[in-house]
Amino acid sequence: MKKYTYTDKKDTRSGFGAGLLELGRTNPNVVALCADLVGSLKMGDFIKENPERFFQIGIAEANMMGIAAGMTIGGKIPYTGTFANFSTGRVYDQIRQSIAYSDKNVKICASHAGLTLGEDGATHQILEDIGLMKMLPGMTVINPCDYNQTKAATIAIADHHGPVYLRFGRPVVPIFTPADQKFEIGKAWMVNEGTDVSIFATGHLVWEAIQAGERLAEMGISAEIINIHTIKPLDEEAVLKSVAKTRCVVSAEEHNRLGGLGDSIAQVLVKHDPVPQEYVAVDDSFGESGPPAELMTKYGLDADNIVQAAQKAIQRKG
Amino acid sequence: MEIKELENIAAQVRRDIVRMVHACQSGHPGGSLGCTDYLVALYFEVMKRKEGFDMDGAGEDLFFLSNGHISPVFYSVLARAGYFDKSEMSTFRKINSRLQGHPTTHEGLPGIRIASGSLGQGLSVAIGAALTKKLNGDNSLVFSLHGDGELQEGQIWEAAMFAPHNKVDNLISAIDVNGQQIDGPTDQVLNLGNLKAKWEAFGWDVMEMNGNDMQDVLRGLELAKSKAHKAKPIMILMQTNMGHGVDFMTGSHKWHGVAPNDEQLEAALAQLNSTLEDY
């Protein structure tokens, strides 16, 4: 089993800011738009170096999505920045018609996704965004796991033509993926090989899955852990290959159990290789205010929950 | 082009509109007929256009239709201007057609740069395209058309606030002020109030024109062009009659989204000269 350690912790939104800064230096077509959350989205460094390529939209997210769509006409690659809630639910029809249906090359970059936004509470903690975005035909949905991967994903999506939803968060989390990684859209990332259970995790839950894997190993259970950073298109081959070996699944995500990564995996299993699956996800509820770590525990999203889900999935193998 | 020539094209476009809507027994003839003169003037006289079509439209003027339900007039003008063969108009709103009920880029129809139909989105898109033109050092212009009922959508006013603040002065927008929407006259459904005062208060250079008088449309659009690149976005309040050109369709919301039957088609075509060939 590969041992993962970390020397540094950072928020994934800072990875976005760093990726955007690098794009500012390497890709003259990249432009950035923000709806009054420049600090939260860590866009400051890009703005400092490229003031002419930054557009402050004000608190008007619908207008931001429309402007972004229009800016692609003439070759720009707009990166929009606001919280996940205001990047998706608030502007769903604008994204649907002006971006997705119109096949516009807009990168919708969403910070503060999920419960770990913390104290602001449920009005801001969207847990439905992956579902909303993956249902749009042609939309790519990415939820990277740490600072380095978020930076790499931010850079990689500039070379992918088409709309992308890039989801990241507020909390400070361990950095455990390499700084020099090449991000491949739609290619699952093997974290640890195992034989007894497949744990498919996305976003912040990948680190929780790694910790769960260590505890399971102590119990003599060999967990295969796979980082599904791209929820759509889903790496079905990686899912099926792993399941062929382990014969049971845990999916782990900071999202409603309805419509997220778990459902995407379940669909693949039902069609090709039905095996037991346990969900680690929010059980169809809104969030609430509180410190991120406490919320993760209360809503059943931490390493302990993954351990329990793995045990249950293994039991169900019969 | 002579005014008479433009009027002849407009008559043919109006024939196309009623024939398209009749053929599939659905679609929106009222607003289409009202905006015909504006769109004919734009595509045949006012806009700087390149041969053929590419999405980026570098170095040419761009047009965005925000009130996408008036697709019949848009399709007819695009076909008559050479973007695709006029015979394709017979597929309007039918299965496997590029001429969807509301305009879309999805089917690759030349001339269309954005999907529209869900209202209130086109002004933002036009602003975005205008910003990119500025970034690219492209001095050509962006035009957009909006319904008056559409102004009830909140996104319009987000965009209205943004454009003057950011000096988007390569944008010439127009509102089809026909005073009608599906449920009745706009002043009864949800009164728009003093549009001139509203847009001026937001910081636009506002002008008015008669959208059903070709001479005034040309005057208005040329005046608008002369106001471009002067630090303000330009808004044309265009007075039109819904259904203009067909007497029994004129001035009533009843023909917003209703197709004529066989007798009504005949009566309408009798009022519109076939100046070019019918499709």
The whole-angstrom separation of Cα A293 and Cα A308 is 18
* Residue B145 domain flag: yes
Query: Quick check: bond before A233 cis, omega within 30?
Result: yes
CATH 3.40.50.920 region(s) of chain A? 189-316
Q: Give the pLDDT score at B252.
A: 82
Chain A residues whose beta carbon lies within 8 Å of the beta carbon of residue B58: 74-75
pLDDT, mean over chain A = 97
pLDDT, mean over chain B = 97
The whole-angstrom separation of Cα B68 and Cα B114 is 10
**Minimal-distance CA residue of chain B relative to A73:** B56
Range of the domain at B186: 3-270
* Residue B277 domain flag: no
* Residue B279 domain flag: no
* Residue B98 domain flag: yes
**Is the overall model pTM greater than 0.95, yes or no?**
yes
Terminal-to-terminal C-alpha distance of chain B: 23
To the nearest whole percent, how much of chain A has pLDDT over 70? 100
The whole-angstrom separation of Cα B61 and Cα B48 is 5
**A73 to chain B, closest Cα gap in Å:** 5
Give the mutation candidate from A57, A73, A80 for the B interface (greatest B CB count, under 10 A).
A73
The CATH architecture one would assign to domain A189-316 is 3-Layer(aba) Sandwich (3.40)
B71-118 pLDDT, tens digit each: 999 999 999 999 999 999 999 999 999 999 999 999 999 999 999 999
H or E element, residue B210: strand B205-210
ipTM over 0.85: yes
Residue carrying the six token digits 């847990």: A127
* Interhelix angle B195-202/B154-165, nearest 10 degrees: 50
Mean pLDDT of A117-134: 96
- B103 at interface of A, judged by CB pairs closer than 8 A: no
Instruction: Mark yes or no for CB contact A78/B128 under 8 Å.
Output: yes
Q: Give the pLDDT score at B190.
A: 98
Mean pLDDT of A202-208: 97
* Residue B276 domain flag: no
**Minimal-distance CA residue of chain B relative to A77:** B132
Mean pLDDT of A293-315: 98
Q: Give the pLDDT score at B95.
A: 97
Mean pLDDT of B126-132: 98
Q: Give the domain CATH number at B191.
A: 3.40.50.970
Taking alpha carbons only, the member of A215, A212, A217, A180 closest to residue A196 is: A217
To the nearest whole percent, how much of chain B has pLDDT over 70? 100
* Residue B259 domain flag: yes
Q: Give the pLDDT score at A154.
A: 98
Chain B residues whose beta carbon lies within 8 Å of the beta carbon of residue A58: 158, 161-162
A7: confidence class by pLDDT, cuts 50, 70, 90: confident
Q: Which of A64, A70, A101 sits opposite B106 (nearest CB)?
A: A101
**B249 to chain A, closest Cα gap in Å:** 30
Q: CB of B61 within 8 A of CB of B141?
A: yes
Instruction: Mark yes or no for CB contact B129/A53 under 8 Å.
Output: no
Type of residue numbered A91: V
Q: Give the pLDDT score at A183.
A: 98
Mean pLDDT of A75-85: 98
Residue B251 has pLDDT above 90, yes or no: no
Residue A1 has pLDDT above 90, yes or no: no
Mean pLDDT of A254-259: 98
B253: confidence class by pLDDT, cuts 50, 70, 90: confident
* Residue B49 domain flag: yes
Q: Give the pLDDT score at B40.
A: 98
* Residue B278 domain flag: no
Domain at A9-174: CATH code: 3.40.50.970
Chain A residues whose beta carbon lies within 8 Å of the beta carbon of residue B120: 62
A318: confidence class by pLDDT, cuts 50, 70, 90: confident
H or E element, residue A255: strand A249-256
**Minimal-distance CA residue of chain A relative to B142:** A70
Residue carrying the six token digits 């040329």: B222
Q: CB of A219 within 8 A of CB of A172?
A: no
Domain count across chain B: 1
Give the catalytic positions of A in this structure.
61
Burial classification of residue A80, based on how many CB atoms lie within 10 Å of its CB (0-12 exposed, 13-18 middle, 19 or more buried): buried
Tell me how many residue pairs between chain A and chain B have CB atoms under 8 A apart: 118
Contacting residues for A253 by C-beta, under 8 A, at least 6 apart? A130, A143, A201, A202, A203, A205, A260, A261, A262, A280, A281
